[in-house]
Amino acid sequence: MVELTSTLPDPESMAQFCVVVLAIIVAWDAWWLARQRVDIPNLGELPGGGYAWQSNQSEEVSRQWANLMTVGAMMVLPWMLAELSNTPMIWVWIWDALLAIHLISLLIPKRYAVTSTHLFADGQRYEWNRLRLAKKQPKKRIMLLRKGWGPFGPLPLGGDRSALEKAALLIVTILQEEE
């Protein structure tokens, strides 16, 4: 009988790899967040019949509640596992610092815009043919779904009631024209 032996990767190397990947994700999200003011410089009615608006922090909490809880869990879990895996604690501290920056970025008010060709949300631009409205809409936001993403594609839009009502009317009109 052949004995197979496997060794686990070095905990410090794995921690470094995970921290580098997380740093890239946080930097990427920060870049998109900074870009939203470039793509949406003005709020209100847009030329060509579009509309742009901005959320506030409490609306972002309502929009991002599940992500906030997930980030919280991601901050706590490494503390329980680091000692078991002999991972140096400095990497857990760096991990938590990066996640804290990401958590703050989730709470920053966002700019949104609806144009005849695209939806602008979270600093990104989405073509309408790649989106659809969720069948069940939440009360405090608009829920769009990215086609082909299954349960991993929700795209909630935040804002106050009047902004969301204006945006929803435009979105319904645009999506009906797409069909």
pLDDT tens digits, 135-149: 888 888 899 999 988
Residues 38 and 124 in one domain: yes
- Residue 113 domain flag: yes
Give start and end residues of each alpha helix (H) in the chain: 11-39, 57-85, 89-107, 161-178
Categorize the per-residue pLDDT at 4 as very low, low, confident or very high, splitting at 50, 70 and 90. Answer: low
Residues 85 and 115 in one domain: no
- Residue 129 domain flag: yes
Categorize the per-residue pLDDT at 3 as very low, low, confident or very high, splitting at 50, 70 and 90. Answer: low
Residues 157 and 80 in one domain: no
- Residue 22 domain flag: no
C-alpha 20/C-alpha 50 separation (Å) is: 39
C-alpha 49/C-alpha 170 separation (Å) is: 9
C-alpha 29/C-alpha 77 separation (Å) is: 22
Question: Among 90, 93, 175, which Cα is nearest to 132's?
Answer: 175
Residues 48 and 126 in one domain: yes
User: pLDDT digits over 8-50, tens only?
Assistant: 788 899 999 999 999 999 999 999 888 888 889 899 999 888 9
Start-to-end CA distance of the chain, whole Å, equals 63
In our burial notation (b when 16+ CB lie closer than 10 A, e otherwise), range 25-39 reads: ebeebbeebebbeeb
Residues 124 and 45 in one domain: yes
Three-state SS at 119 = strand
Residue written as token pair 């980030």? 71
Would you state the pLDDT for residue 6? 62
Write out the residue range of the structural domain in which residue 135 sits. Answer: 34-56+109-179
Among residues 73, 88, 108, which one ends one of the domains? Answer: 108
Residues 116 and 100 in one domain: no
Would you state the pLDDT for residue 44? 94
Domains identified in the chain, total number: 2
C-alpha 10/C-alpha 82 separation (Å) is: 12
Residues 113 and 177 in one domain: yes
C-alpha 106/C-alpha 64 separation (Å) is: 7
- Residue 10 domain flag: no
Say yes or no to pLDDT of 170 above 90.
yes
Which is more confident, 179 or 14? Answer: 14
